[in-house]
Structure 1
C-alpha cells in the first residue's frame, strides 16, 4: 500500500496470514470501524506493536479484545536513536494501572522528568520527559541553536509532558506545545480525549485550546459521533463532570464527521486549533 487503507490492511492480515503488525493508534481505530470487521479477520496475529501517538484506554481495550493477541507499546524519537521505551505484553491488562503507560526504558537508557528550569522532578510530578540513550543524535545539521535546545549534557529533551512513577514507568500526558492554559493551569488534551472516548456515543475526540479573554484559554472539544449516535453537549458534559476536574471540562463541543490526519495517521491538531488563533497569541507554560 502506498498509503494506509483500513479495508485493504484487514484483508491482507487475514488473507496472507500476517503474524506481527506495527501500527499507530489511528490505524487500529480505522480497522476496527470498518464495516463487517470481526475477530475472525485477525486470527493469525500473534503480536501487535503500536506507538507514535497517544492511545485512549477505550481504543486499547477494544483492540485487545478484537485482535486477541499480544500487544506491546514502543516510545522514542528519531533523536533518541528510535525506540527507547517499551510497555511489554504482560502490562496490557484491561483496567490495570499501566494501560496508559508508555513503558519502561530499555537497559542502558536513562530517563528523568524536569521542570521549566531544568531541575529534576520527583516520581509522579509532571514535567518534560528527557531520555539519555547510547544511540542519541549528534546534532541537527546546520542548526546549532536547535541542537542546544534538544540535546543538553547527553539528555534528549523530548518535548513531551509526562511523569515517571515509583517503579520507573513513564506516563506521557501530551506534547508540551499542545497543553491548554486555563486560568493558569496546564490542561493536557489527551487526558480529556481519553475520558470522552469512553462515552458510548463517541467514536473519536480531539481537544484543543481556544482564546478566552477571562481565563486565557478554554477547552474546545471536536467530537466524531459513534455510528448511529448523536450525543448532545449536555450528555457529554454530564458524563465528564464526575470524571474530570472542573477546569478541564470542555466549554464547547463541535461535532465533525472525521478527524484530519497526515498520511501516517497522526492527527493534524493544528488544523483544528489554528482557526481560533488567527488574531491571538498562545501563551502556554
Structure 2
C-alpha cells in the first residue's frame, strides 16, 4: 500500500480513537471493513462515501447502479460491514423477495441520509439489519455531511428518532426567521449551517452564491428547529410548505404518519389550489403489494394521530411515488398537473 495511503489511514484511526474518547465515534472505520457504495457517484453523498472508504483503507464495493437484489447478494457474499444509502434504497433492500436477517449478518453500521426517513422504516431497519444506524444531514454546499444522529440515539419510540442529529465539532447551526433573525429553541425557521468545508461559490453564478452564502453561513432552504440540547430537527423544504387558512403544514410530517399504516408502502404529500383556504393537502399513496386500503381507512388512521387541519383533503392512489436517484420525492412532478391553469405559489 502506498505510503500516503498508510499515513492517511493511521491519521483517520487516530481521529477515530480521539472521537471515541469523547463519545463522538458516530461514523467510524475499522481494519478489515468492507464498504458498499450504494449512492450514485454523481451525488455528493456517493463520492463522499467512496473517498471516506479509500482514505480509511477499506475495501470498497461499488455498484454501477443500485439494484436491491444485487445489493443483498453483495452484502451477503462479500461480507459487507458498512454501507451508505438513502431511505428509498433501504426500503427496497428490506422488501427484496427472499431476503432476511441472515443476509445482513455481517453489517455493523449503516449510514443513511439524503431525504426524510419514516419512523416505521427506521424501526424495520433496526430490527432486520440488526446493526448500528447513523443518520447524516448536509448539502453539497457544506462539503456534504455536517450533522449526524449517532447510533446511541436510534431508540425506537425515543424522542430523537425524528432528529437529523447534532452538528459535528467545528460546525455551527442556527435557525432564522424570514427576516434573517435567529429564533429561540423549538421555533421552526430556515436552517443555516457554518462549516469549515463550506463552498466558495457557485461557478459563474454570483447572484445564486449571494443568496445561499451569507456572512459565511449556508442558507439551506430547509425548514427546521433546534431543541434545547442542540439537536437539529428537519421539518421539510421551505418551498414544500403548505399553507392552509394561515396554518403551516409540512408534508414530511404527514408522510411519516401515513408510512405507519400497514398497507402503505410509500407516500407523498403536496399542496394543491383551494379557493376557500388558499391551499389544500393532497396525498399520493402507494400501497404494499397485495394490501388494500381506501381513503376512509387512511382518513380514520390519520384522525387519531395528527391535527384535523393537516389531514389530506384527497387521497390519490398510485403505483409508485416518483423519486430522484438520491431518494428525494419529486414533488414538482406531482404538483404540476394539479396546479395547471393557476398562478403557481410554489416551484
Q: TM-score, normalised by structure 2?
A: 0.80
Which consecutive residues of structure 2, in runs of 5 or more, have no partner in the other structure?
1-62
Which consecutive residues of structure 1, in runs of 5 or more, have no partner in the other structure?
none
> Partners in 1 of 2:337 and 2:138 — Cα distance?
31
Counterpart residue number, 1:156 = 218
Q: 1:218 aligns with which of 264, 280, 291?
A: 280
Q: 1:95 aligns with which of 144, 154, 157?
A: 157
Deviation of 1:201 after TM superposition, in Å, equals 1.3
Cα deviation, 1:203-262, whole Å, max 9, x if unaligned, reads 111111111111111111111112221111011101111211111100100111112222
> Partners in 1 of 2:204 and 2:247 — Cα distance?
36
Query: Does the CA-based 8 Å contact 1:3-1:263 persist in structure 2?
Result: no
Counterpart residue number, 2:174 = 112
Listed as ranges, the matches of 1:32-51 within 5 Å are: 32-51=94-113
Listed as ranges, the matches of 1:10-89 within 5 Å are: 10-89=72-151
Structure 1 residue 2 corresponds to structure 2 residue 64: yes
Deviation of 1:69 after TM superposition, in Å, equals 0.2
Q: How many residue pairs end up in the alignment?
A: 284
Q: 2:201 aligns with which of 139, 147, 160?
A: 139
Of residues 194-203 and 269-278 in structure 1, the stretch that sits farther from structure 2 once superposed is 269-278
Structure 1 residue 251 corresponds to structure 2 residue 325: no
> Partners in 2 of 1:171 and 1:281 — Cα distance?
31
> Partners in 2 of 1:112 and 1:263 — Cα distance?
29
Secondary structure at the residue paired with 2:88? helix
Listed as ranges, the matches of 1:174-185 within 5 Å are: 174-185=236-247
Deviation of 1:180 after TM superposition, in Å, equals 1.1
Structure 1 residue 170 corresponds to structure 2 residue 232: yes
Deviation of 1:272 after TM superposition, in Å, equals 1.1
Given the superposition, is the C-alpha separation of residues 2 and 264 from structure 1 closer, same or farther in structure 2, using an over 3 Å criterion? farther
Listed as ranges, the matches of 1:250-269 within 5 Å are: 250-269=312-331
Q: Which has the higher helix share?
A: 2
Of residues 179-188 and 105-114 in structure 1, the stretch that sits farther from structure 2 once superposed is 179-188
Query: Does the CA-based 8 Å contact 1:196-1:202 persist in structure 2?
Result: yes
Counterpart residue number, 1:230 = 292
Query: Does the CA-based 8 Å contact 2:115-2:327 persist in structure 1?
Result: no
Of residues 62-71 and 222-231 in structure 1, the stretch that sits farther from structure 2 once superposed is 222-231
Cα deviation, 1:67-116, whole Å, max 9, x if unaligned, reads 00000011111111211111100000011001010000011111110010
Query: Does the CA-based 8 Å contact 1:237-1:249 persist in structure 2?
Result: yes
Structure showing greater radius of gyration is: 2
> Partners in 2 of 1:52 and 1:237 — Cα distance?
29
> Partners in 1 of 2:294 and 2:64 — Cα distance?
38
**Aligned-residue CA RMSD (Å):** 1.1
Secondary structure at the residue paired with 2:334? helix
Query: Does the CA-based 8 Å contact 1:4-1:264 persist in structure 2?
Result: no
Q: 2:191 aligns with which of 112, 129, 141?
A: 129
Deviation of 1:142 after TM superposition, in Å, equals 1.4
> Partners in 2 of 1:278 and 1:172 — Cα distance?
30
Query: Does the CA-based 8 Å contact 1:4-1:263 persist in structure 2?
Result: no
Of residues 195-204 and 254-263 in structure 1, the stretch that sits farther from structure 2 once superposed is 254-263
Deviation of 1:271 after TM superposition, in Å, equals 1.2
If asked which structure has higher relative contact order (CA below 8 Å, sep 6+), I would say 1
Query: Does the CA-based 8 Å contact 1:129-1:158 persist in structure 2?
Result: yes
Query: Does the CA-based 8 Å contact 2:114-2:327 persist in structure 1?
Result: no
